[in-house]
Homo-oligomer: A and B are copies of this chain.
Protein backbone atom coordinates (compact mmCIF):
# COMPACT_ATOMS: atom_id res chain seq x y z
CA UNK A 1 0.00 0.00 0.00
CA UNK A 2 2.59 2.50 1.06
CA UNK A 3 4.81 1.80 -1.92
CA UNK A 4 1.99 1.35 -4.43
CA UNK A 5 0.29 4.56 -3.54
CA UNK A 6 2.40 6.40 -6.06
CA UNK A 7 3.05 4.66 -9.34
CA UNK A 8 6.54 3.88 -10.41
CA UNK A 9 8.19 6.59 -12.46
CA UNK A 10 9.26 5.95 -16.01
CA UNK A 11 11.16 8.63 -17.88
CA UNK A 12 10.53 10.86 -14.93
CA UNK A 13 6.76 10.61 -15.34
CA UNK A 14 4.27 8.75 -13.21
CA UNK A 15 1.72 6.42 -14.68
CA UNK A 16 -0.89 9.10 -15.16
CA UNK A 17 1.46 11.44 -16.97
CA UNK A 18 2.67 8.70 -19.24
CA UNK A 19 -0.86 7.77 -20.08
CA UNK A 20 -1.69 11.36 -20.89
CA UNK A 21 1.37 11.69 -23.07
CA UNK A 22 0.49 8.58 -25.03
CA UNK A 23 -3.03 9.83 -25.47
CA UNK A 24 -1.74 13.04 -26.93
CA UNK A 25 0.65 11.25 -29.24
CA UNK A 26 -2.26 9.20 -30.52
CA UNK A 27 -4.32 12.28 -31.16
CA UNK A 28 -1.52 13.95 -33.07
CA UNK A 29 -0.87 10.81 -35.05
CA UNK A 30 -4.56 10.48 -35.82
CA UNK A 31 -4.73 13.98 -37.22
CA UNK A 32 -1.76 13.17 -39.42
CA UNK A 33 -3.19 9.93 -40.66
CA UNK A 34 -6.71 11.28 -41.19
CA UNK A 35 -5.10 14.06 -43.16
CA UNK A 36 -3.42 11.54 -45.41
CA UNK A 37 -6.00 8.84 -45.98
CA UNK A 38 -9.15 10.09 -44.30
CA UNK A 39 -10.89 8.74 -41.26
CA UNK A 40 -12.36 5.81 -43.09
CA UNK A 41 -9.03 4.84 -44.58
CA UNK A 42 -7.29 5.09 -41.25
CA UNK A 43 -6.74 1.81 -39.41
CA UNK A 44 -5.98 1.51 -35.75
CA UNK A 45 -2.69 -0.08 -36.69
CA UNK A 46 -1.62 2.77 -38.95
CA UNK A 47 -2.40 5.35 -36.31
CA UNK A 48 -0.47 3.41 -33.69
CA UNK A 49 2.51 3.15 -35.96
CA UNK A 50 2.44 6.85 -36.65
CA UNK A 51 2.30 7.45 -32.91
CA UNK A 52 5.10 4.94 -32.34
CA UNK A 53 2.89 3.03 -29.96
CA UNK A 54 1.21 -0.34 -30.13
CA UNK A 55 -2.46 -1.18 -30.23
CA UNK A 56 -2.44 -1.83 -26.56
CA UNK A 57 -2.09 1.84 -25.86
CA UNK A 58 -4.78 2.69 -28.27
CA UNK A 59 -7.32 0.79 -26.22
CA UNK A 60 -5.84 2.14 -23.07
CA UNK A 61 -6.96 5.64 -24.01
CA UNK A 62 -9.86 5.11 -26.37
CA UNK A 63 -12.72 2.70 -26.48
CA UNK A 64 -12.66 2.60 -30.27
CA UNK A 65 -11.75 4.51 -33.41
CA UNK A 66 -14.71 6.79 -33.11
CA UNK A 67 -13.68 7.91 -29.65
CA UNK A 68 -10.32 8.94 -31.01
CA UNK A 69 -11.90 10.82 -33.86
CA UNK A 70 -14.03 12.75 -31.43
CA UNK A 71 -11.07 13.46 -29.19
CA UNK A 72 -8.99 14.65 -32.13
CA UNK A 73 -11.80 16.81 -33.36
CA UNK A 74 -12.38 18.42 -30.01
CA UNK A 75 -8.67 18.92 -29.58
CA UNK A 76 -8.30 20.79 -32.84
CA UNK A 77 -11.55 22.66 -32.80
CA UNK A 78 -11.43 23.64 -29.16
CA UNK A 79 -8.12 25.30 -29.72
CA UNK A 80 -9.27 27.01 -32.87
CA UNK A 81 -12.39 28.37 -31.28
CA UNK A 82 -10.43 29.84 -28.42
CA UNK A 83 -8.23 31.65 -30.84
CA UNK A 84 -11.16 32.84 -32.87
CA UNK A 85 -12.94 34.14 -29.82
CA UNK A 86 -9.82 36.01 -28.80
CA UNK A 87 -9.45 37.48 -32.27
CA UNK A 88 -13.08 38.53 -32.27
CA UNK A 89 -12.64 40.18 -28.91
CA UNK A 90 -9.79 42.15 -30.43
CA UNK A 91 -12.29 43.61 -32.90
CA UNK A 92 -13.93 45.61 -30.15
CA UNK A 93 -17.64 46.37 -30.27
CA UNK A 94 -18.14 46.60 -33.98
CA UNK A 95 -19.84 43.40 -35.13
CA UNK A 96 -18.36 43.78 -38.58
CA UNK A 97 -14.81 44.16 -37.26
CA UNK A 98 -15.23 41.20 -34.91
CA UNK A 99 -16.52 39.09 -37.74
CA UNK A 100 -13.61 39.92 -40.03
CA UNK A 101 -11.08 39.31 -37.31
CA UNK A 102 -12.52 35.90 -36.47
CA UNK A 103 -12.81 34.86 -40.10
CA UNK A 104 -9.30 36.03 -40.87
CA UNK A 105 -7.94 33.94 -38.07
CA UNK A 106 -10.01 30.98 -39.20
CA UNK A 107 -8.83 30.99 -42.79
CA UNK A 108 -5.27 31.75 -41.78
CA UNK A 109 -5.13 28.70 -39.54
CA UNK A 110 -6.74 26.61 -42.19
CA UNK A 111 -3.98 27.48 -44.57
CA UNK A 112 -1.24 26.94 -42.02
CA UNK A 113 -2.47 23.50 -41.01
CA UNK A 114 -3.91 21.55 -43.92
CA UNK A 115 -4.15 18.25 -42.09
CA UNK A 116 -6.08 19.41 -39.07
CA UNK A 117 -8.15 21.37 -41.54
CA UNK A 118 -9.14 18.16 -43.21
CA UNK A 119 -10.12 16.61 -39.90
CA UNK A 120 -12.58 19.24 -38.88
CA UNK A 121 -13.92 20.13 -42.28
CA UNK A 122 -14.23 16.85 -44.04
CA UNK A 123 -13.66 13.80 -41.94
CA UNK A 124 -16.23 14.64 -39.36
CA UNK A 125 -19.35 14.22 -41.44
CA UNK A 126 -21.71 11.30 -41.32
CA UNK A 127 -19.71 8.89 -39.22
CA UNK A 128 -22.26 8.21 -36.54
CA UNK A 129 -24.90 9.96 -34.49
CA UNK A 130 -22.43 10.53 -31.67
CA UNK A 131 -19.95 12.21 -33.95
CA UNK A 132 -22.66 14.23 -35.60
CA UNK A 133 -23.73 15.53 -32.23
CA UNK A 134 -20.20 16.65 -31.45
CA UNK A 135 -19.97 18.40 -34.76
CA UNK A 136 -23.33 20.08 -34.34
CA UNK A 137 -22.20 21.42 -31.04
CA UNK A 138 -18.98 22.75 -32.49
CA UNK A 139 -20.79 24.46 -35.32
CA UNK A 140 -23.03 26.20 -32.86
CA UNK A 141 -20.02 27.55 -31.05
CA UNK A 142 -18.48 28.57 -34.34
CA UNK A 143 -21.61 30.41 -35.28
CA UNK A 144 -21.85 32.19 -31.96
CA UNK A 145 -18.32 33.45 -32.34
CA UNK A 146 -18.94 34.84 -35.80
CA UNK A 147 -22.26 36.44 -34.99
CA UNK A 148 -23.00 36.51 -31.28
CA UNK A 149 -26.57 35.43 -30.66
CA UNK A 150 -28.89 38.35 -30.35
CA UNK A 151 -31.15 37.93 -27.38
CA UNK A 152 -34.15 40.10 -27.03
CA UNK A 153 -34.29 42.44 -24.03
CA UNK A 154 -36.00 39.76 -21.99
CA UNK A 155 -33.09 37.44 -22.46
CA UNK A 156 -35.12 34.93 -24.40
CA UNK A 157 -33.73 32.46 -26.82
CA UNK A 158 -33.48 33.40 -30.43
CA UNK A 159 -36.21 32.13 -32.70
CA UNK A 160 -36.17 29.18 -35.05
CA UNK A 161 -35.77 31.43 -38.07
CA UNK A 162 -32.65 32.96 -36.57
CA UNK A 163 -31.30 29.51 -35.99
CA UNK A 164 -31.71 28.69 -39.65
CA UNK A 165 -29.90 31.88 -40.50
CA UNK A 166 -26.97 30.80 -38.35
CA UNK A 167 -27.01 27.38 -39.90
CA UNK A 168 -26.98 28.81 -43.38
CA UNK A 169 -24.17 31.18 -42.52
CA UNK A 170 -21.99 28.44 -41.11
CA UNK A 171 -22.82 26.20 -44.03
CA UNK A 172 -21.66 28.86 -46.43
CA UNK A 173 -18.43 29.55 -44.57
CA UNK A 174 -17.56 25.88 -44.21
CA UNK A 175 -18.32 25.15 -47.84
CA UNK A 176 -16.14 28.02 -48.94
CA UNK A 177 -13.37 26.82 -46.69
CA UNK A 178 -13.67 23.29 -47.99
CA UNK A 179 -13.41 24.38 -51.56
CA UNK A 180 -10.57 26.74 -50.85
CA UNK A 181 -8.62 24.02 -49.08
CA UNK A 182 -9.30 21.38 -51.70
CA UNK A 183 -8.18 23.75 -54.46
CA UNK A 184 -4.95 24.39 -52.60
CA UNK A 185 -5.58 27.87 -51.33
CA UNK A 186 -5.84 29.71 -54.61
CA UNK A 187 -7.10 33.08 -53.44
CA UNK A 188 -5.37 35.16 -50.79
CA UNK A 189 -6.83 34.90 -47.32
CA UNK A 190 -8.31 38.37 -47.39
CA UNK A 191 -10.30 37.64 -50.53
CA UNK A 192 -11.77 34.50 -49.07
CA UNK A 193 -12.58 36.32 -45.87
CA UNK A 194 -14.40 39.00 -47.83
CA UNK A 195 -16.54 36.44 -49.60
CA UNK A 196 -17.31 34.53 -46.45
CA UNK A 197 -18.12 37.75 -44.64
CA UNK A 198 -20.69 38.68 -47.23
CA UNK A 199 -22.65 35.58 -46.25
CA UNK A 200 -22.26 36.24 -42.57
CA UNK A 201 -23.65 39.69 -43.10
CA UNK A 202 -26.91 38.08 -44.13
CA UNK A 203 -27.25 36.50 -40.73
CA UNK A 204 -26.21 39.73 -39.07
CA UNK A 205 -28.68 42.01 -40.81
CA UNK A 206 -31.57 39.60 -41.24
CA UNK A 207 -31.52 38.77 -37.57
CA UNK A 208 -31.81 42.47 -36.79
CA UNK A 209 -34.55 42.99 -39.30
CA UNK A 210 -36.55 40.14 -37.86
CA UNK A 211 -36.25 41.49 -34.37
CA UNK A 212 -38.09 44.74 -35.08
Interface of A toward B, CB cutoff 8 Å:
38, 40, 122-123, 125-126, 160-161, 163-165, 167-176, 178-180, 186-187, 191-192, 195-196, 198-199, 201-202, 206
Contact = CB atoms under 8 A, between A and B. Distances in A.
19 contacts: A40-B126, A122-B126, A160-B186, A163-B179, A164-B176, A164-B179, A164-B180, A164-B187, A168-B175, A168-B196, A169-B199, A171-B171, A171-B172, A171-B175, A172-B172, A172-B175, A175-B175, A195-B206, A202-B202
Given A125-B125, A126-B38, A198-B202, A167 B175 contact: yes
A173 B164 contact: no
Contacts of A125: 125-126
Nearest to A176: B168
Nearest to A139: B175
Total copies of the chain: 2
A199 B196 contact: no
A164 B195 contact: yes
Query: Which residue, A38, A163, A170, has most C-beta atoms of chain B within 10 A?
Result: A163
A160 to B, nearest CB: 6
A29 to B, nearest CB: 21
A178 to B, nearest CB: 8
Contact of A198 (B38, B195, B206): B206
Contacts of A38: 126
A176 B187 contact: no
